Amino acid sequence: MIIVIDTENLTKRFGDVNAVESVTLHVEEGEVFGFLGPNGAGKTTTVRMLSCLISKTSGSARIGEYEVGNGADQQKIRRMIGLLTENVGLFEELSAYDNLDFYGRFYKLSEQSRRERIEYFLRLLGLWERRDAPAGTFSKGMKQKLAIARAMIHDPEVLFLDEPTANLDPEASKTVRDFILELKKEKRTIFLNTHLLDEAEKICDRVAILKTKLIATGTPQDLRRSLSRRKIRVQLQRMDDGIVRAVERIGFQVVEKSDNGLVINVGDPEKENPAILRAIMDVGGQLQFVTEIGSSLEDVYLKLVRGEQ
């Protein structure tokens, strides 16, 4: 296991304001790591520190073998990473080709290599036919794709994507997400800043939730399991109060009831379901089906950022 992004108590203060406080995280090679948090949580500031755009106030961070904040390593880190900024920041008057060609020069790519890579990415992202059109004439989705291609032009080992699908329509979002999944297949390390939980759940191997401080880290599944109570829905032919009483008598909480079913809080459904179902049937309940109600990453996220856990 190779740690590619490694931070210890990384902190950034602007005057008296703590923008990022004591963030410790370890991102493995080839991992897609989601960095979640509400606006102003410090996601962009963290990415800017890790991309050597702004200095850290304290703590340490390493990208690969290089130390963030060490003057001699800054250039090496910038060569190693690709950054998709929150605002695409394209040169709107320049063509898609020229936008990429401009950036390719700073990574000392030969003219032929630049040509090949530009063609590869523009074809991959379906922009080749529009290569000579000014970027300013592109739709939001096309601009975003072009900006991702720009971040990839030098074949970086680590890719920082800051809100890659923000402000995009569903179709454009899907295209960008699919592209990120393609990159994932190439085993690139991707650090994804997002506040779209659905996106994080679909793409990320692990996520961290930030609200100035890091409040949770884990796989989306682990976070769901560890931080939210599991529930089951029991569908019955007919409901009566005796069934509710029977369930509560054996120590479970009924959180919702309707004409033909109830929702019960459980700790471990695999172990506890048989006892619950037996209690229901003992008082004459006729079962139709039992399902687990999965809590989403969104539930977990909201609980954490609201400080409910």
Partner 1 sequence: MDLQNAWAVAAKDFKILRKKSSVIYSSIVLPIVIGVAFPLILNYAIEKNKNGGMTAATIPTLMDAFSIWFLIGAVMIPTAIASYSLVGEKIQKSLEPMLATPMSDGEILLGKTISGLLIPVAAIYAGSILFMALMDQVTVGKLGYLYYPNWQIGAILLAAPLASLLSVQLNVIISSRVNDARTAQQLGVLVVIPFAGVYVASEMGFFQFSDTNLLIIAGALLIVDLCLFFLSKATFQREQILTKWR
Q: Please, are residues 239 and 245 in contact by the beta-carbon 8 Å criterion?
A: no
Looking at the Cβ atoms of 7 and 45, the one nearer to partner 1 is 45
CB nearer to partner 1: pick between 61 and 151: 151
Give me the least distance between CB of 150 and partner 1, in Å please: 7
Ramachandran category for residue 42: left, alpha or beta (phi over 0 → left; psi -120 to 50 → alpha): left
Query: Which residues touch 168 (CB under 8 Å, ≥6 apart)?
Result: 140, 141, 144, 176
Contact flag: residue 55 with partner 1 (CB under 8 A): yes
Q: Pick from 202, 146, 159, 147: which is nearest to 177 by CA?
A: 202
| Residues 6 or more apart whose Cβ sits within 8 Å of residue 277 | 234, 287, 290
Q: State the minimum distance, in angstroms, from the CB of residue 166 to partner 1.
A: 13
Which residue among 38, 67, 94, 235 contacts partner 1 (CB under 8 A)? Answer: 94
Interactions with partner 1, residue window 60-89 (CB under 8 A)? 75, 78-79, 81, 83, 85, 87-89
Instruction: Assess 288 for contact with partner 1 (CB under 8 A).
Output: no
Residue that has been written with the tokens 């999944």 in this structure:
181
Instruction: Say which residue the tokens 């001699």 belong to.
Output: 72
Tell me the window of 28-36, 90-98, 252-260, 271-279 that interacts with partner 1 (CB under 8 A): 90-98
Q: Binder to partner 1 among 31, 32, 48, 179 (CB under 8 A)?
A: 48
Binding to partner 1 (CB under 8 A) within 126-185 occurs at: 134, 147, 150-151
Q: How far is the CB of 180 from partner 1 (least distance, A)?
A: 18
Nearest to partner 1 of 79, 233 (CB atom): 79
Q: Which positions ≥6 away from 120 have C-beta within 8 Å?
A: none
Left (φ > 0), alpha (ψ -120 to 50) or beta: where does 14 sit? beta
Interface with partner 1 by CB under 8 A: which residues?
A: 14, 48, 51, 53-55, 75, 78-79, 81, 83, 85, 87-94, 98, 102-103, 105-107, 134, 147, 150-151
